[in-house]
Amino acid sequence: MATAGDAGFLAYSALQNLDIATLNRHCKVDGIPITYPQHAKVKLLFMSQATQQAKMIQMCKTMNISTDGCTTAGSEKEGMSPKWSPHIDTLNKEQLEDYVTLTPDVLAKLKNWSKSIKEVPDVNDFSIKMYLANANVISEEMFRTYKLSKPYEMRKHVHSMFYNKLPDHPSFVALQAQSNSEQSASADENTEVLFVILDSQSGEPVGGYCTCAIGRSQACVHMGAALFSFAGFIASGTPELPSDPAFSEVSGTGTGTDGENHFALR
């Protein structure tokens, strides 16, 4: 029986059923930004618990303690690592080991997300096209006419973008963004949170994660949209990513109307 009291781990369904205030309290304790849409907070909190469980099991194993007491839910932990792209073949063993530690919940909790893109590698449309075509997000026929594709069209609905140099992971940098699924939709459930890990030298996308239904399979339209938007800002020479819309405007929850920038405050 998982309650907030024992070991602090909650089942996915229990997290889904929390009221907003309680969910936000859990997020604050865990370091997940409360400005995320509700469904994204649930997913990332759940992953964060799973990561902590995995670490506990590892610790128990290292200390030669039975892992029975360390954890309960095992089956719900799949799909945590960011997915691969063909670029992964170019990484050495050390880089691969580093890469798999960059799970979405770990990325969500990083404090040094920034609007500054003065020192970003060259992220360009060609490498994004390669990445999306490989993941079947755009078809081969769309390779030439990618400006007609859904991810390119949807770049206008990307907001709350941040860049992270990942100082502790020299081979990689990361992009975080939120993307509304539909043009008119501003409701919480239509806003996805996504992360893309890129090669710190070449700027090529390596892998990513999105809170949408297919966001665990390397790439989706939201990641594509965020990448195209990001590449557009880099190419335009702007030193900063655009500021975020007010929290309530995006989430539609009516809370947090102060437009608090959760990242800048920490």
Instruction: Kindly tell me which of 87 and 216 has the beta carbon lying closer to Zn ion.
Output: 216
Contact 132, 139 (CB under 8 A): no
Min CB(197)–Zn ion separation in Å = 15
Q: Choose among 172, 21, 32: nearest CA to 95.
A: 172
Q: Smallest distance from the beta carbon of 80 to Zn ion, in angstroms?
A: 16
Applying the rule CB under 5 A, the residues between 99 and 128 that interact with Zn ion are: none
User: How many angstroms separate the CA atoms of 232 and 246, rounded?
Assistant: 23
Q: Site for Zn ion (CB under 5 A): which residue of 215, 218, 247, 262?
A: 215
Q: How many residues bind Zn ion (CB under 5 A)?
A: 6
Nearest residue (CB) to Zn ion, 190 versus 200: 190
Among 110, 132, 210, 225, binds Zn ion (CB under 5 A): 210
Q: Does residue number 225 form part of the binding site for Zn ion (CB under 5 A)?
A: no
Tokens of 67: 């892992």
Residue closer to Zn ion by CB (options 18, 175) is: 175
**Cα→Cα distances 255→17, 24, 69, Å:** 18, 11, 39
Per-position x/- string for 154-193, each x denoting binding to Zn ion as judged by CB under 5 A, each - no binding: --------------------------------------x-
Closest distance between Zn ion and the C-beta of residue 223, in Å? 6
CA distance 23 to 237: 39
Give whichever of 117 and 220 is closer to Zn ion, judged by the CB atom.
Answer: 220
- Show Cβ contacts of residue 257 under 8 Å, excluding neighbours closer than 6 positions: 246, 247, 248
Q: Which span sits near Zn ion by CB under 5 A: 3-11, 200-208, 212-220, 224-232?
A: 212-220
Helix ranges restricted to H, the chain: 12-16, 20-30, 38-62, 93-99, 104-109, 125-134, 150-153, 221-236, 247-251, 262-265
Q: Which is closer to Zn ion, CB of 38 or CB of 71?
A: 38
Question: Judged by CB under 5 A, which of 212, 227, 234, 250 binds Zn ion?
Answer: 212
Nearer to Zn ion, 83 or 109 (CB): 83
Q: Helix or strand or coil: residue 10?
A: coil
Per CB under 5 A, the list member of 220, 225, 226, 227 interacting with Zn ion is 220
222 forms part of the interface with Zn ion (CB under 5 A): yes
Q: Is 224 in the site for Zn ion (CB under 5 A)?
A: no
Half-sphere exposure of 183 (CA within 13 A, CB side): 2
**Helix, strand, coil fractions of the chain, as percent rounded to 5:** 45, 15, 45
**N-term to C-term CA, the chain:** 34
Q: CB of residue 104 vs Zn ion: minimum separation in angstroms?
A: 12
Count Cβ atoms within 10 A of the Cβ of residue 79 and give its class: 0-12 exposed, 13-18 middle, 19 or more buried: middle
Residues that bind Zn ion (CB under 5 A): 192, 210, 212, 215, 220, 222
